[in-house]
Amino acid sequence: MDFTWKIGGEAGYGISVTGQIFSRACMRSGAWTYDYSEYPSLIRGGHNTYQVRVADRDVTSQTHAVHLLVALDQKSYDRHKDELAADAVVLFDPANVKAPGGLPLPMSEIVKRHNGQPVMRNMVALAASLALCGVDFSVLEELIRFSFGKKGEDVVNHNIDVSKDGYDAVKEHPFAYKVPNATEEKRINIGGNESIAMGAMKSGCKFFSGYPMTPASEFMHFYAKHERSMNVMMKHTEDEIAGILMAIGAGHAGVRAMTATSGGGFALMTEALGMAAMTETPLVVVVASRPGPSTGLPTWTEQSDLRFCMHASQGDFPRIILTPGDHEECFEAGLQAFNYAEKYQVPVIILTDKYLGANARSVHPYKVPEGWTIDRGKLITDPPADYERYALTDDGISPRAVTGSCVFGAFSNEHDTNGDFTEDADMRNKMMEKRDKKLPIMQAEIEGKVRYYGPADADVTIFSWGSTKGPVLEAMKLGEAIGLKIALVHTCCVLPFPTEEMRGYLEKAKRPVLIEGNIAAQFGGVIREYTGIEIKDKYLRYDGRPFYPEQILKWLQ
């Protein structure tokens, strides 16, 4: 079983919540799911879609073919009819949609019968969709109670009654794909941004400060939702500059802290990023990128901020850039980032994008790796009388005192070992070299920067980073079916760059190809910069849309 359900309609008609409930209902019934949504940068109106891939195995991306389309308006049918699979079913309301050969469902009529608002057509369509897929109504009823419980019993019962009529209207209609029976295996449905936030909380991040910006706003929502239950704080700041400065202040005081934004917000943060580097204050910043330049495409996806994050802020200083490729790696990045930030006393950037950050997938509940512990590095609570905050050490990492336990300078100018302002040339050299000493230490100690998937004798070896991982893994399965051996070399930590590992994979590859979501082949340029090897075969996408497995396979052939 492997099919795609898709709903389309205007913003404001519950497209997103309908999709989320459909996905969770299928997951609770035993299926694996991958969600993908598209919406314009409008508060209301415009064409919105939410699609869910449902399968009997773990899936890591969306696909092109649609097997069950819910058209809440005519535009949804007209725009997506060419995506329909040969055995597809189209659910539509004959009151406002014409879909030849589709399955008419009197959504408006059912809603009026129960004295409901027009927006409740989505619940009729949702219930009918689940009926066609063989999901028991009790699963939907449970999710309705969970989703609408805070609105009162009357609202819950109203939605259940409307949904039951939609369910019964089509439950006998044939549909080629049925969701399996309930499984005892536990799964959660979660987005990439939420996964990073969950890893951050588990790592002891107690403070989040930021300003909302698509597609990074889920971090604020997540921390606000769990503030009391998890004993954390979320501060909605007046702008992005205040967001990063508050996080730096919290980190200076000894609290694990983070901020999150997109490219435009990060542009405002870059001077403060340099201050964190100069003061050697642990800091974690999530950059959920979207297409630029300027405002670009606010609600779409692109991998065009890699070079920006690598070189943001003036001057030279060490930093770490994590580039998770799936939801599990997002949790891992959130978990590890704070250990790296405190151990090496550097800024850590987690770079993701709208595609990975905002789309949900069913996964096993996350587990902390065996043996993992919180590592606060050289943090000391009782500094000696002769304590020097920026003492010159063999590894470039100085003991870091808890704020209030002693007196030292920490500001944006260059300083001596006590933190006092200096313009002395010799001391400037020593401080630059001290900070630079961290690079080889981080290079040697950070593990798992590159991960290899696929056969050792692959015909094609794909080199990628970040969110392209999921579609590539699905393309590998499609290739296997036609006898094409595809391997993936995926980089989930771009700085410090894994030079020797990458060079080794490049030299062994029969046909190396580059896949990434920007016009400049930024990651390809980074590979050439560090290894001296150019990947000439490139598949680039920069229209705001993600890669599809079918497109990748077609391009490779």
Domain containing residue 220: CATH number? 3.40.50.970
* 331 phi, psi to nearest 5 deg: -60, -45
* 3-state SS class at 84: strand
Write out 156-202 in H/E/C secondary structure: HHHHHHHHHHHHHHHCCCCCCCCCCCCCCCCCEEEEHHHHHHHHHHH
Q: In the listed set 419, 446, 473, which residue is the last one of a domain according to the structure?
A: 446
> Going residue by residue through the chain (557 aa), what tens digit of pLDDT does each one get?
999 999 999 888 889 999 999 999 999 999 999 999 999 887 677 899 999 999 999 999 999 999 999 999 999 999 999 999 999 999 999 999 999 999 999 999 999 999 989 899 999 999 999 999 999 999 999 999 998 888 888 999 999 999 999 999 998 899 999 998 777 788 999 999 999 999 999 999 999 999 999 999 999 999 999 999 999 999 999 999 999 999 999 999 999 999 999 999 999 999 999 999 999 999 999 999 999 999 999 999 999 999 999 999 999 999 999 999 999 999 999 999 999 999 999 999 999 999 999 999 999 999 999 999 999 999 999 999 999 999 999 999 999 998 888 889 898 999 999 999 999 999 999 999 999 999 999 999 999 999 999 999 999 999 999 999 999 999 999 999 999 999 999 999 999 999 999 999 999 999 999 999 999 999 999 999 999 999 999 999 999 999 999 999 999 99
In a shared domain, residues 146 and 23: yes
Tell me how far CA of residue 183 lies from CA of 54, 179, 186, 367, 405, in angstroms. 15, 11, 8, 20, 54
In a domain, 298, yes or no: yes
* 497 phi, psi to nearest 5 deg: -75, 135
What's the pLDDT at 13?
A: 84
Q: What is the DSSP-derived secondary structure letter of residue 448?
A: -
Residues 260, 205 contacting (CB under 8 angstroms):
no
Domain at 30, CATH number? 3.40.920.10
In a shared domain, residues 276 and 297: yes
Residues 417, 311 contacting (CB under 8 angstroms):
no
In a shared domain, residues 109 and 86: yes
In a domain, 178, yes or no: no
In a domain, 47, yes or no: yes
In a shared domain, residues 393 and 414: yes
In a shared domain, residues 125 and 157: yes
Lookup result for tokens 């009729």: 124
What's the pLDDT at 324?
A: 98
b/e sequence 115-136, b meaning 16+ C-beta within 10 Å? ebeeebbbbbbbbbbbbbbebb
Please give the tally of structural domains in the chain. 4
Residues 286, 266 contacting (CB under 8 angstroms):
no
* Residue 35, beta-bridge partner list: 52
Tell me how far CA of residue 419 lies from CA of 11, 79, 406, in angstroms. 54, 62, 12
Helix axes of 137-148 and 121-132: crossing angle, nearest 10 degrees: 150
Q: What is the DSSP-derived secondary structure letter of residue 421?
A: B
In a shared domain, residues 339 and 409: no
In a domain, 348, yes or no: yes
Domain at 499, CATH number? 3.40.50.920
Tell me the residue type at 59: V
In a shared domain, residues 311 and 387: no
In a shared domain, residues 473 and 552: yes
Residues 73, 67 contacting (CB under 8 angstroms):
no
Residues 258, 222 contacting (CB under 8 angstroms):
no
What's the pLDDT at 416?
A: 97
In a shared domain, residues 304 and 350: yes
What's the pLDDT at 160?
A: 94
What's the pLDDT at 323?
A: 98
Domain carrying residue 474: 450-556
What's the pLDDT at 185?
A: 82
Closest alpha carbon to 287 in 307, 259, 268:
259
In a shared domain, residues 442 and 456: no
* Residue 320, beta-bridge partner list: 348
In a domain, 475, yes or no: yes
In a shared domain, residues 400 and 489: no
Tell me the residue type at 511: R
Helix axes of 153-170 and 137-148: crossing angle, nearest 10 degrees: 150
Residues 37, 359 contacting (CB under 8 angstroms):
yes
In a shared domain, residues 145 and 265: no
In a domain, 370, yes or no: no
